[in-house]
A = this chain, B = another copy of it.
Amino acid sequence: MAGAKKVISLRSSCKEEAIDITDLVNQVIKGSGIKEGICFLFVPHTTAALFVNEGYDPSVVKDILSSLSKLVPAEGNYAHLEGNSPAHIKSSLMGVSLLLPIEGGKLSLGRWQSVFFVEFDGPRQREVWAWLL
């Protein structure tokens, strides 16, 4: 019922980064021929996440990342010894699973919305999995 899994490959270039994947997801939808439906995105990583917010002014995403770093400081009394506990915590707060509408053969988003993959422990090679329903 979920159709075939499509894998979107990404390379993050620094420790923390929000990558606008709207166009990449739209390419997957275009390739499928689906006009109306739902797009299910899943990130198979524990130190990255997905979110939807403004893609027009890059300072919005900058503020989101810096706010998260105030909420979950890089230095703290963390039990996990790999040094990336803040990345795990931020990933859990933002979430790795996202459902998005498709209309007219592409993502149906609000005027200012973009879909972001957010890296919290890069740089790394990453994947976003997509299913079109």
Interfacial residues, chain A to chain B (CB-CB below 8 A) = 1-2, 5, 36-38, 40, 42-46, 51-54, 57, 59-60, 62-64, 66-67, 71-72, 76, 78-82, 85, 88-89, 91-103, 108-113, 129, 131, 133
Contact = CB atoms under 8 A, between A and B. Distances in A.
A80 B57 contact: yes
Contact of A113 (B38, B46, B93, B100): B46
B40 A60 contact: no
A85 to B, nearest CB: 4
A133 B2 contact: yes
A37 B4 CA distance: 10
Nearest to A55: B46
Contacts of A111: 44
Contacts of A81: 59
Given A43-B110, A53-B92, 9 more contacts: A1-B38, A2-B102, A38-B40, A46-B112, A52-B97, A53-B91, A63-B80, A99-B99, A101-B131
Contact of A42 (B37, B85, B97, B100): B100
Contacts of A2: 36-38, 101-102, 133
A12 to B, nearest CB: 15
Contact of A95 (B42, B51, B112): B51
